[in-house]
Amino acid sequence: MRDVLISPSILSADFAKLGEEIRAIDAAGADMIHIDVMDGHFVPNLTFGPPVIEKLRPHSDKPFDVHLMIAPVDPFIDDFAKAGADILTVHPEAGPHIHRTLQAIRAAGMKPGVAINPGTPADVVDPIIDDVDLILVMSVNPGFGGQSFIDSQLRKIEAFRKKIDESGRKIILEVDGGLNSETAPRAIDAGVTAIVAGSAVFKGGPSSYAGNIAALRGEMVS
């Protein structure tokens, strides 16, 4: 099984002590910190904004992997850059000019990513594959944590793996939604190089985080 990055989603963390939670998952072996930004409009939930990210930034040197589920996106790009986002991932449906948005993200000093919903075809990335550093396959419909993995997205992961390999570029292929010790290995076998997981990481409290992360990688937990 290939090496895979683990990006715990703080959507499943204890909101009363987010800084402490981020320090704990960092120490437990997380590779990135996944932050889901939802606006209650593009998706049916409200979460974090740039001020929260700015306050969390001092708690970890790991890359902040920020997934924007908001519309419009462009007016807020600089705010997320200033707050400390390292990767900024957007949905093609969130604005009329995805190419322009990706260019603006890179110009602001962040790595641009594109997120693909279960009902969005894989070929939507064909015109922009040279402009992204991350492709995020949503294996649930975005908006809430705790949903079940949609098996049909494995075929989409395989399609993206082929596109990335043919591009010759080092693009992170990430999956988010319903990932646990059973579904994560299937996604890794299909070609992903990064796993986003919320409850599968944060279950059991801080003493369990290292074992939970190891299990997602398919490693034996002592």
Q: Is residue 29 part of an annotated ligand binding site?
A: no
Q: What is the phi/psi pair of residue 40, to 5°? A: 75, 5
The verdict on whether 133 is a catalytic residue reads no
17 alpha carbon, distance to own chain's centre: 21
Give the pLDDT score at 50: 97
151 is catalytic: no
Give CA–CA dist 10/29, Å, rounded. Answer: 15
In angstroms, the CA 184 to CA 72 distance is 31
The answer to whether 97 is annotated as binding is no
| pLDDT tens across the length of the chain (222 residues) | 458 999 999 999 999 999 999 999 999 999 999 999 999 999 999 999 999 999 999 999 999 999 999 999 999 999 999 999 999 999 999 999 999 999 999 999 999 999 999 999 999 999 999 999 999 999 999 887 778 999 999 999 999 999 999 999 999 999 999 999 999 999 999 999 999 999 999 999 999 999 999 999 887 444
61 in a labelled binding site: no
Domains of the chain: 5-216 (3.20.20.70)
**Comparing C-alpha atoms, which of 213, 129, 210 is closest to residue 172?**
129
- Residue 15: its pLDDT value, please? 95
Residue tagged active-site, from 31, 36, 39, 133: 36
- pTM for this predicted structure: 0.96
Rounded-to-10 torsion of CA 107, 88, 195, 153: -100
Q: Tell me if 99 is assigned to a ligand binding site.
A: no
The predicted pLDDT at position 146 comes to 75
